Structure 1
Amino acid sequence: MLWLALILVGLAFPAHADMLVAARTLRAQTIVSASDLILHTGPDVGLADPALIVGQEARVTIYAGRPVRPGDVGPPAIIERNQIVPLVFESSVLHIQTEARALDRAGVGETIRVLNLSSRSPVMGQVQADGTVLVKGMK
């Protein structure tokens, strides 16, 4: 019975693993470099692979000594809020291009809300590498 109690006590403690922590306080919208990270051993709550973080943009303020979690970083924004961007609607037989105003910041591959300047309608689209916002129609 004593061995069962020892096993249960051992399971109650969190597992420790290598994780990356911020070497300095990183404000939101800062591009993370390798010198901004330190490998630290602790409870397994953060990312451990620097390749997933270096070159990404901090989405929130990451304080020095705190682990970097997956939601804390993302692709660098290429579209700023209120920026006028090309808006492209594509379906199997139709291609429409107009202008829109970005309602959020976003990076390549992210979904963003924009306001179609022609119709004054808000739409959601995916940011492309060339800075356009693509809305796909039904096929």
Structure 2
Amino acid sequence: MATALAAIALGLAALLSAADASAQSPRSARSWAPPGWSPGGVQPGEVTSDPVVVAARAIPSGAVLSPSDLTMAATAWGPGLPSIDQVVGQEARVALYAGRPVRLEDIGPPTLVERNSLVLLRYRRGTLLITAEGRALDRGSEGDRIRAANLASRQTVTGRVAADGVIEVAP
């Protein structure tokens, strides 16, 4: 029994010593790549692309982008959008970090209706117009189909978000 405990203690000491050595190594324990390797053969700091739109500062998710939030730069971070005009007025769908390219999937149209907000539901058929107050069950931008609860009837309806934030309910 004593020899088994001694063997376990020696094994544990060897593991701890190996972990300590890797912590002092210039390559971290998370880095499994050989020294000098990088994705796509691009070395850190190497510029490989034409100028693309990059974030000028850290931008939180949900912020509407303005020209002061963006700049053009050549970068090694990969593909990005070629024009600031494509990005201004869009909403950041994810956090954007300074110096990183803004990709098409990182942005989208600004949200007009937030989830759980009070909204106006509008049903229109010919000359008939019915409006009701509702609560948005999803968030949405102009043109998105979202669900909403009619507060008077407690029915769930689906409609398209209009430019003014009203939900146009279809039959």
Q: What band does the TM-score fall into relative to the shorter chain? A: 0.7 to 0.9
1:3 paired residue number: none
Q: Which has the larger radius of gyration?
A: 2
- 1:22 aligned residue (45, 48, 55): 55
Contact conserved, 1:30 with 1:57, CA < 8 A, in 2?
A: yes
Which structure shows the bigger proportion of residues in helix conformation? Answer: 2
Q: Does 1:134 align with 2:168?
A: yes
Which secondary structure state, in structure 2, belongs to the residue aligned with residue 68 of structure 1?
coil
Structural RMSD (CA): 2.7
Contact conserved, 1:17 with 1:44, CA < 8 A, in 2?
A: no
1:115 paired residue number: 149
1:5 paired residue number: none
The whole-number CA distance in structure 2 between the counterparts of 1:62 and 1:29 is 10
Gaps spanning 5+ residues in structure 2: where? Answer: 1-39, 43-47
Which secondary structure state, in structure 1, belongs to the residue aligned with residue 51 of structure 2?
strand
The whole-number CA distance in structure 1 between the counterparts of 2:132 and 2:116 is 16
TM-score, scaled relative to structure 1:
0.73
2:86 paired residue number: 52
TM-score, scaled relative to structure 2:
0.61
The whole-number CA distance in structure 2 between the counterparts of 1:35 and 1:93 is 46
For 1:116, the aligned partner's letter is N
1:35 paired residue number: 68
For 1:23, the aligned partner's letter is A
The whole-number CA distance in structure 2 between the counterparts of 1:69 and 1:123 is 34
Contact conserved, 1:18 with 1:44, CA < 8 A, in 2?
A: no
For 2:68, the aligned partner's letter is S
1:77-116 pair list within 5 angstroms: 77-91=111-125, 95-116=129-150
For 2:82, the aligned partner's letter is A
The whole-number CA distance in structure 2 between the counterparts of 1:57 and 1:93 is 36
Q: CA deviation at 1:77?
A: 2.4
Which structure shows the bigger proportion of residues in strand conformation? Answer: 1
Q: Deviations over 1:1-21 (max 9, x none)?
A: xxxxxxxxxxx8898333211
**Aligned residue pairs, count:** 126
For 2:170, the aligned partner's letter is K
Q: Deviations over 1:38-77 (max 9, x none)?
A: 2123466321221121122212211112211122222222
Identity in percent:
44
